[in-house]
Amino acid sequence: MKLRDIPTPALVVDVNAMERNIRRMAEFFADRPCKVRPHFKAHKTPAIARRQLAAGSCTGLTCATVGEAEVVVAEDLTDDLLIANEVVGPGKAARVAKLAARADVKVAVDSHAALDDLAQAACAEGVEVGVLVDVNVGLPRCGIAPGEPALELAKLVAATEGVRLRGLMGYEGHVVAIEDRAEREARTAKAMGRLLDTAGMVRAAGLPCEIVSAGGTGTYDITGRMDGVTEIQAGSYVLMDTAYAKLDIPFELAFSVLGTVLSRPKPELCAADSGHKACTMDHGNPSVKGIEGASVLFLSDEHATISLPAESTLAVGDRIELWPSHIDPTINLHDILFAVDGEEVVEIWPITARGYLEHRASEILRGVGG
Ligand SMILES: Cc1ncc(COP(=O)(O)O)c(C=O)c1O
């Protein structure tokens, strides 16, 4: 199959650029005590995760949801996984406990309620679930306050049957996208100081803290150099997006939304079939790949309205590629990825963990013996 034969809209991965991104990340961590735990939520695609793990320098995989973790186990991608997110809601702790019978599962916890739920489910299943106390390092989202509150929660975890304290996590998502490196470094140091000081307090209290997990694509080479951080949860680096491409990091844009020109109503305008049902715009409009002077004016449900240089020869039926501004939610809109090498489609990968897997858990769980 050729690129020109792909029905659109479709997601296209440049396999060579992706492989270079994977290699660069693996090489950065090869000789360091810190490793990478690639975030599966970025692409939700087992074929990509397999390549990340095969490249080395990985501790395992990171997931954002129980559904993603179920796919990781069902696909036998790794037996070392972290759900770097709070597990709360009907049936979720029980599903984690089932996974813990098959793999070394760790879960981020920031509340007594989530801890109780997890411990009860683990005891009922006769397993032990690993816990990382989720510390708020400045991102106004989840995480218990650093210092004493986190230490108290760590003590409670250590004293609770069914769970095992493995360490801490703290995601500095409020600083990963800062374009100015000096500012990004300074603010990352401040955020990670909160996490590392708390880790020191946990160890001083005689508690285990073998894992200190943090970091994203924008901070992999800042947080990843800090003494005491054991792993980086980066995900976007593998395929990238235009928001991260503004940063001084060595990863290439490796995926695009392929569309077809539906209309060229004026010389300086075209409409393609890659609207916001095919490409999210929460980080801004996508960019046009490979046409000098072209830009996206706006996306509507089914259309991308694109400004073109009037001399462009682009005609109805021609292809046009957009570089998304945000990888994770764009991938989540699609079922498959077309892996291409130049004009050749070399593989087609299912985006197995896309969508709300919670609503088809029983189907996925059959794969993990549930
Ligand atoms: C908890 C957590 N860890 C790590 C990441 C890193 O992802 P990225 O590679 O996109 O910076 C994210 C992204 O949102 C996240 O939510």
CATH number where 143 lies: 3.20.20.10
Distance of CA 355 to the CA centre of its chain: 14
Share of the chain above pLDDT 70, in %: 97
Residue 217 domain flag? yes
**C-alpha closest to that of 217 among 182, 242, 190:** 242
Residue 146 domain flag? yes
Token pair belonging to 332:
């989540």
Residue 244 domain flag? no
- The pLDDT assigned to 29 comes to 98
How much is the mean pLDDT over the chain?
96
Q: What is the pLDDT confidence band of residue 137, given thresholds at 50, 70 and 90?
A: very high
Q: What is the CATH number of the domain that holds 338?
A: 2.40.37.20
- Whether 101 and 207 share a structural domain: yes
Residue 224 domain flag? yes
- Whether 217 and 282 share a structural domain: no
> What is the C-alpha separation between 232 and 109, in angstroms, rounded?
18
CA of 3 to the centre of ligand 1 (A): 31
Pocket residue to mutate for ligand 1, from 52, 176, 282, most atoms within 8 A of Cβ: 176
- Whether 221 and 296 share a structural domain: no
- Whether 94 and 227 share a structural domain: yes
Whether the CB-CB separation of 181 and 225 falls below 8 Å is answered with no
**Tens of pLDDT along 172-210?**
999 999 999 999 999 999 999 999 999 999 999 999 999
The pTM of the full predicted model, rounded to 2 decimals, is 0.96
CA of 254 to the centre of ligand 1 (A): 18
Q: Which residue range forms the structural domain that includes residue 279?
A: 3-7+251-350
**C-alpha closest to that of 84 among 42, 48, 131:** 131
Hey, which residues does 214 pair with through a beta bridge? Answer: 170, 232
Share of the chain above pLDDT 90, in %: 96
Strands 104-109 and 129-134: parallel
- Whether 156 and 300 share a structural domain: no
Question: What DSSP element (H or E) covers 259?
Answer: strand 255-266
Question: What DSSP element (H or E) covers 97?
Answer: helix 92-100
Residue 245 domain flag? no
DSSP 315: -
- Whether 211 and 261 share a structural domain: no
- Whether 201 and 230 share a structural domain: yes
Residue 243 domain flag? no
Q: Give the chain's domain count.
A: 2
Residue minimizing CA distance to atom 14 of ligand 1: 173
Least confident among 14-18, 127-131, 318-322, 360-364: 360-364
**Confidence check: pLDDT of 369 > 60:** no
